[in-house]
Copies of this chain bind each other. A is one copy, B any other.
């Protein structure tokens, strides 16, 4: 699916688009996978349109696979963006034009409402792949302020708020971390999403009390200072625990 087919607007439904906020966690930072548009020099969310025989969820999986190479990812709808003016002055068209792609104006000029999805992925497994309109595809830290297409900055902010609210209801840690991880890494992930510091000792106690982690014999070596233990999620217990929601608000 790395083949780059020309864009054919007749395959897609009018008026409906998708934007995917793909979260990854690396170097103790929460990052989002963004496309850098060839000519307008802005960043844009990976997005796309709905085929006639797809659900939105299937379309989102397809779009995310094209940008990451990954299958069957954790994806959630979080909001529809429907401001009538949101897709005006769509620089993506301009970009397509400049790229010599001959966009179908009667398709792109229409009003689009966009369904926002967020995805949680294991950073290391992703092969960032640009699309027809972009020259590269990068992980961008949430602290970095870059110029973005249309309302994409708003969409990312909404995704983060949702992530924060759903931290206790969705398997966020499981999806964002590699299989083996350390307690400090898990804590930093939580701190990044919540936007505030947590007490190291209380965090560990609470996490362990959930009884969803397996402490491994191994330690993570190589880093400076004392080697932390590695943990992995106990899938069964984690899944079961999420059904009620991990009690408490962090």
Contacts and interface: CB of A to CB of B under 8 A. Distances in A.
A56 B113 contact: yes
A14 interface: yes
A56 B16 CA distance: 13
A169 interface: yes
Contacts of A84: 52-55
A235 interface: no
Most buried by B among A50, A79, A113: A113
Nearest to A59: B82
Contact of A50 (B14, B53, B82, B248): B82
A125 interface: no
A113 B112 CA distance: 13
Interface in A1-44: 13-16
Given A80-B80, A82-B57, A111 B52 contact: yes
Contacts of A83: 55
Nearest to A57: B82
Interface string A45-63: 0000010111111000000
A159 B84 CA distance: 26
Contact of A13 (B53, B111, B244): B111
Among A14, A82, A245, max chain B CB count under 10 A is at: A82
Given A80-B80, A248-B249, A113 B169 contact: no
A165 interface: yes
A247 interface: yes
A52 B111 CA distance: 8
7 contacts: A16-B16, A56-B80, A56-B82, A57-B82, A77-B80, A80-B80, A247-B249
Given A55-B83, A77-B79, 4 more contacts: A15-B16, A16-B16, A245-B249, A247-B249
